[in-house]
Amino acid sequence: MRRPYSRLRAFLLPSAAAIFGLVCTAAVYRAISSDQRARIADQFRYDASQRVELVAGAFTGHTDALESVGRFFEDSIEITSDEYNRFASAWVSPRLFSAIAWCVPKDGSDWMGAAGGLEPYYFVPTLEPFPALVSMLDSPEVRSAVAVAATSGRAAASAMVFLPWDRPQPAIALCRPVFSASDESGVRRFGVLVGFVAIPIVVQGAILAEEATGLPMTIRDVSSGSNAPYYSYSPRIGVPVEPGNALDWLVFSKETRFADRSWRIEVRASTKYVAAMDREADYFAIAGAIASLGLAALTLALVRGRESAEALAEASSAEFERFFTLSLDLFAIAGIDGVFRRLNPEWSAVLGRPLSELEGTGFLDFVHPEDVEATRSAMSRLAAGEEVVGFVNRYRAADGSFRNIEWRSRMAPDGDTVLAAARDITDRISMEDALRRSVAEKESLIKEVHHRVKNNMQVISSLLDLDAMNRAEPRLVEAAKEAQGRIRTMAMVHEQLYRRDSLSEIDLGDYLRELAGRVVGEYSSLGVRLSIDADSMFLDLDAAIPCGLAVNELLTNALKYACKDSGSAVRILACVADDGTYSIRVEDDGPGISADALDRSIAGETLGLSLVFGLAAQLGGELSVLPGPGARFELRFPYPRRATAPFSPTS
């Protein structure tokens, strides 16, 4: 559940971050705007002055050009219309003159006053003047300018006129007197050159040559008084600003002289001038607003992240507390100094002491005196960074008894805290002791059973021996002797189990050696050479008895039928075959067994070999007769495979 101050913090901190960002943005925006206003003013002053100089420079070459044409007339002996056209055409262009005319007085005199009239003699760009031009040359303004030029003797007089083109253009009629100029007839006479300069064409030609900067401009002929017309030129980008606009303070004005007149050129800024120059402050304001919102969002994310982390930490702490409290094991947190800092309630249940008594005490305060040194050694291993697992010591309970505690401990990453989990194993140790005692008692009982079984078999063997002594028939004595051998063979298995530590299996090699020695001692007195080569193999009780009985029968037959002379040899081989089965061979150097005897044994007519075949089947194996010399038998059976059918002598 979120606390009220957490919700308030989640609202206030992002809001404060956003407000702080906006305030900083506004302060920087104001500083940038102030600096930008100064930079805009400087830049505008520079651009406007360049524009004025550009326009003024566009008119400076006209007087020199007209002066050159005048000297051409004066220096020439005779000028034809074609020569005039070729020479003067070089100065007729949108940047210079729209037209140049050589005029002479209508009365043919050598002087023209203000009241005189002019007659065009040569005219460029066309050789023949048209009526509108003749009328314009006869206007009072042009006649006055011609009179001033004739008086001053230089190209310093001008008049404001409108060129009679399809779209009338305001122009300056620039006059230059020409004295003693010769026409085609060779007559030298007085005249005047009149060059017409179209103001809009010249100004626009100069403006179009530069990069578009959004600067509208006006040109006024201040020499003509306050009512003189002015000429406006719209900006190439944007529109002129209206009064009251934020940019109406950008104004640059300068006066310049041309053709004996004063001109005021005024430059202003268009609506696109500042946008084209610099939008740094606007961009910064937008970026600052976005950054403020981003800062608020980041702060909100951090606040929520912190709240989530705190909630997760609280949940983890609560979960750890429940786990620590409810665990059935003994949990402990201690210092490297060996003092318990915190224990879970299970300690109180095990030792019968309250936690207030246990916490704050040392490891060794309740340890059994005999376990103190071992406990100190475990603590040293912990201090060295090792993990202690499976350490057991005894702790004194409140009733004075000692509980066996098994520990698993390790050092925490801080290097100053020991984390331990322990378990009371007193009951487990008691159960293990009881189980060991029970197993020991059962082992003793089983050994006693084997011993008694062996003794009982010895009693049976002795009874058979006594009975054989009282009988005169050799066949009965021989049968009793064979029965005694089989009984002793089984008794030896129980004796082996009684003597060994294991009560479930015997060593086949040791058993065969003891068995062969007993059988040879009972059946032969001729000095039989007995050879036993047996590996150490182990058989349980179920396999040892049938295996021993089979070897007893094979060895008895070898001694009875093959060892007739002194020095006869009998050999026993026992090993584990390559296929994992047990292999036991019994070989002699006698005459061997006839095929007829073997067939009668397989048919069950004789007890010895019939019994061995049955025992091999009980072991799950087989008995093989190997080729001579002598009689050679091999018993092979798997281990620990058991027989699947009970033994039957006739099987």
Q: CA-CA distance, 119 to 114, in Å (whole number)?
A: 14
Q: Which residue has the tokens 């140049």?
A: 100
CATH architecture of 527-651: 2-Layer Sandwich (3.30)
Residue 608 CA to residue 367 CA, distance in Å, equals 71
Q: Which amino acid is at 534?
A: A
Predicted model pTM: 0.40
The 10 Å Cβ neighbour count of residue 284 is 17
Q: Strand (E) positions, 46-167?
A: 99-105, 118-124, 157-163
Cis peptide before 638 (omega within 30 of 0): no
3-state secondary structure (DSSP) of residue 629: coil
Q: What CATH architecture is 329-424? A: 2-Layer Sandwich (3.30)
For the stretch 186-205, what's the b/e string if a residue is b when 16 or more beta carbons lie within 10 angstroms of its beta carbon?
eebbbbbbbbbbbbebbbee
Q: Which of 581, 567, 579, 552 is nearest to 641 (CA)?
A: 581
Contact (CB, 8 A) for 464 and 482: no
**How many Å apart are CA 102 and CA 195, to the nearest integer?**
9
Average pLDDT per consecutive 10 residues, the chain (651 residues; last block may be shorter): 57 72 74 73 85 82 82 76 78 81 73 61 66 77 81 74 77 82 65 85 78 81 74 80 78 84 85 62 70 73 74 70 74 85 85 85 86 88 86 89 89 84 86 78 62 63 63 64 69 65 75 80 72 84 81 80 74 86 87 74 67 85 84 84 38 33
Partner residues linked to 585 by β-bridges: 573, 634
Q: Which residues have C-beta within 8 Å of that of residue 137, sequence separation ≥ 6?
A: 101, 103, 118, 120, 194
CATH class belonging to 7-300:
alpha beta
How does pLDDT run across 15-34, given as a tens digit for each residue?
Answer: 777 777 777 777 776 776 67
For the chain, how far is it from start to end, CA to CA, in angstroms? 85
In 118-146, which positions are buried (b, 16+ CB within 10 angstroms) versus exposed (e)? bbbbbbbeeeebeeebbebbeeeebbebb
Specify the pLDDT at position 544. Answer: 81
Contact 281, 29 (CB under 8 A): yes
- Asked if 103 and 120 touch (Cβ cutoff 8 Å), the reply is yes
* pLDDT for residue 645: 37
Diameter over CA atoms, the chain: 203
At residue 342, the pLDDT reads 84
Cα gap 377→443, rounded to integer Å: 38
Does the fold of domain 329-424 match that of domain 7-300?
Answer: yes
Domain extents for the chain? 7-300, 329-424, 429-503, 527-651
C-beta atoms surrounding 592 within 10 Å: 18
| CA separation for the pair 395, 403 (Å, rounded) | 5
Phi, psi values for residue 547, rounded to 5°: -65, -45
Instruction: Tell me which DSSP letter residue 92 carries.
Output: B
Long-range pairs for 466-475: beta carbons < 8 A, 24 or more residues apart:
none
Residue 441 confidence (pLDDT): 64
